[in-house]
Chain A
Amino acid sequence: MAEAGSKSLEPGRDRRSERAAARRARALRGGAVAAVSSVVFLGGIAALILTSPGWPLVRDSFFDAEVFADSFPGIAKAFWLDVRVFLIVEVVVLVLGLIVALLRTVRAPALFPLRLLATVYVDVFRGIPVVLLVYMVGFGVPALALGETADGSRPLSWLPTEPVVLGGIALALSYGAYVAEVYRAGLNSVHRGQRDAALALGLTEAQALRHVIIPQAVRRVGPPLLNDFIALQKDVALIAIIGVTGEAFREAQIESSRIFDYTPLVAAALLYLLVTIPLARLLDRWERGRARN
């Protein structure tokens, strides 16, 4: 081996600097290829859009700087409602999802009816488009007129009828079903030996869940949960369709139909991006951190 190796080596050659030079050349070539292909690709798309026959019209009706400056503050103010709805619904979803996931995971016979209910809930609410659910809850529940009874007594008058609350409930029901499945995957991923160890220490099944299994499951599903948060944050805009006033998308809609210009919608889109992009970067960093461990 040593002989063969020395035969192929010419004396005086600096292998280390040769390899470094080759690496540099490779990196340079890679950078050049990336730059050229980006210019060609993005330039091509830009050229396609800018030379399209409708571009002047699109530019004027979607990207009007003056309209943008006029409408942005009002929409931004309305966006605050979106943020609040998002935060409240998110908390409800986190709790509801965990309860449903636990009901589907725990094998106690006494919980069987609840387990069945939890399974049906996930199947149904994950299967219905969010937009339909918002319609059904937003218009259907008030139509039941549960708050009014024939004899004038109103035992259920505490039930909410405001569109923003009903819209929030619809979102919570839909996302609760998704998040329940995320949690369930997390619960199932905790090794069986963890439960055994907890039981061997004299913990009850409930204590093992609470102190050993749930904490580990929740840690594991952080990134997929954040992914669902991002989706929920966008879908808050759907509550506009049942007449929630003061919501960003609805305000943008009203404004754009008033002045026959779509720029307010672009302003609203920008506001959603302002929240979802930082969340997405946070998710990336989180997953990178976990991959290292």
Chain B
Amino acid sequence: MSPAGRPVLELRGVTKAFGELEVLRGIDLEVHEHEAVALIGASGSGKSTLLRCIDLLEEIDDGDIFLDGEVITDPSVDAVSVRRRLGLVFQAYNLFPHLNVLDNVLLGLVQGHGMGRAEAERRARELLARFGLAGREGDDPDRLSGGQQQRVAIARAFATRPRALLLDEVTSALDPELVGEVLQAVRDLKVEGVTMVLATHEMSFAREVADRVCFLHEGRIVESGPAEKILSAPERPETQRFLRRLLEAGRA
């Protein structure tokens, strides 16, 4: 047990392969209440897969994942009830194009959580306003900019007050000038103390928001620690190489 008490999320030896391709090769990770953990690493290092495994969108091959001390990867566990306790934001937003902005946020509350329409609507409007989307409730998602769409997606995932919010490269599909507004929304949630795991390519953002950074390389967490230490003084050569390459590309 760590000083912060029982972790919200705990992964032990999580393994996942797609056919011959081993994407995750034994991931151990603990995420505590109010903690933000950033997953960094090259494309294909398993960041997205790890988040999808935690949300039970992928079935893991070996190991266990615990949510609030309760194993969620046991075949007997009802995946739907687990997903109701988690929130996932996708790289490509994945908003529902046939529903307007408000209904996108309402669907999970009303259908997934059985919340009354009036209460759900109050909460959805409040959240949308908080993310700077007041007045856009009736719009179809495709009328919004990428940054606005991703903020709707964050509001949608957060509306159900998940125990942990999983953010999968939420700025990677955005034009550079729209990245800031989405990061501001995430920053906001961090200030509020939302527990989160975020896969990201934005090193400066990881440094700012994450309490801890884990570097994934070929399906393993090869180095993890406080953001400042991992990003400024990494010990492992793989991490050093990765960060040097980002620096050369002007991304760090």
Set A201, A203, A216: member contacting B97, Cβ < 8 A: A216
Given A207-B112, A211-B107, do A202 and B97 touch, yes or no (CB 8 Å)? no
Of B35-43, B80-88, B213-221, B222-230, which stretch is located at the interface?
Answer: B80-88
Complex: A216 Cα to B99 Cα, angstroms: 10
* A193 lies within 8 A of chain B by Cβ: yes
Most-contacted residue by chain B among A197, A199, A201 (CB, 10 A):
A201
Q: What is the distance, in angstroms, from B95's C-beta to the closest C-beta of chain A? A: 8
Given A207-B111, A211-B111, do A200 and B83 touch, yes or no (CB 8 Å)? yes
Complex: A198 Cα to B80 Cα, angstroms: 11
A196 touches B98 (CB 8 A): no
Given A201-B107, A202-B80, A202-B160, do A196 and B94 touch, yes or no (CB 8 Å)? yes
A197-B96, A199-B79, A200-B55 are known; give 17 further A-B pairs, CB within 8 A: A191-B94, A193-B92, A194-B94, A194-B96, A196-B52, A197-B95, A199-B57, A199-B83, A200-B86, A200-B90, A201-B112, A201-B156, A201-B160, A202-B84, A203-B111, A212-B98, A216-B98
Q: Mark B95-126, 1 if CB is under 8 A from A, else 0.
A: 11110000000011001110000000000000
* B157 lies within 8 A of chain A by Cβ: yes
* A204 lies within 8 A of chain B by Cβ: yes
17 pairs, A vs B, C-beta closer than 8 Å: A194-B94, A196-B94, A197-B94, A200-B86, A200-B87, A200-B88, A201-B111, A201-B156, A201-B160, A202-B113, A202-B160, A203-B108, A203-B111, A203-B112, A204-B80, A211-B107, A212-B107
B94 touches A193 (CB 8 A): yes
8 closest Cβ pairs, A-B complex:
A202-B112, A201-B108, A202-B84, A197-B94, A200-B88, A193-B94, A201-B112, A215-B98
Within 8 A of B (CB), among A147-193: 191, 193
Q: What is the distance, in angstroms, from A226's C-beta to the closest C-beta of chain B? A: 19
Interface residues on B, range: 20 to 34
Complex: A211 Cα to B112 Cα, angstroms: 11
Residues of B within 8 A of A288 (CB): none
Complex: A215 Cα to B111 Cα, angstroms: 15
Complex: A201 Cα to B57 Cα, angstroms: 11
Set B86, B90, B107, B112: member contacting A193, Cβ < 8 A: B90
Residues of A within 8 A of B81 (CB): 202
Residues of B within 8 A of A200 (CB): 55, 57, 83, 86-88, 90, 157
Residues of A within 8 A of B94 (CB): 191, 193-194, 196-197
B107 touches A198 (CB 8 A): yes
Residues of B within 8 A of A197 (CB): 90, 94-96
Q: What is the distance, in angstroms, from A284's C-beta to the closest C-beta of chain B? A: 23
Residues of A within 8 A of B87 (CB): 200
Complex: A278 Cα to B83 Cα, angstroms: 49
Most-contacted residue by chain A among B107, B108, B156, B160 (CB, 10 A):
B107
Set A203, A204, A219: member contacting B98, Cβ < 8 A: A219
Within 8 A of B (CB), among A200-232: 200-204, 207, 211-212, 215-216, 219
Q: What is the distance, in angstroms, from A292's C-beta to the closest C-beta of chain B? A: 13
Complex: A197 Cα to B112 Cα, angstroms: 12
Set B52, B57, B107, B157: member contacting A203, Cβ < 8 A: B107
Residues of B within 8 A of A202 (CB): 80-81, 83-84, 108, 112-113, 160
Most-contacted residue by chain B among A191, A198, A200, A204 (CB, 10 A):
A200
Complex: A258 Cα to B90 Cα, angstroms: 71
Complex: A212 Cα to B94 Cα, angstroms: 11
Residue of A nearest to B83 (CB): A202
Complex: A201 Cα to B80 Cα, angstroms: 9
Residue of B nearest to A201 (CB): B108
Residues of B within 8 A of A204 (CB): 80
Residues of A within 8 A of B80 (CB): 199, 202-204
Residue of A nearest to B84 (CB): A202
Complex: A19 Cα to B154 Cα, angstroms: 52
Given A201-B160, A216-B97, do A196 and B90 touch, yes or no (CB 8 Å)? yes
Residues of A within 8 A of B55 (CB): 200
Residue of A nearest to B153 (CB): A197
Q: What is the distance, in angstroms, from B54's C-beta to the closest C-beta of chain A? A: 11
Residues of B within 8 A of A191 (CB): 94
Most-contacted residue by chain B among A197, A198, A202, A216 (CB, 10 A):
A202
Residues of A within 8 A of B113 (CB): 202
Q: What is the distance, in angstroms, from B224's C-beta to the closest C-beta of chain A? A: 25
Residue of A nearest to B87 (CB): A200
Residues of A within 8 A of B107 (CB): 198, 201, 203, 211-212
Residues of B within 8 A of A201 (CB): 83, 107-108, 111-112, 156-157, 160
Within 8 A of A (CB), among B35-71: 52, 55, 57
Within 8 A of B (CB), among A207-264: 207, 211-212, 215-216, 219
Residues of B within 8 A of A198 (CB): 96, 107
Q: Mark B2-17, 1 if CB is under 8 A from A, else 0.
A: 0000000000000000
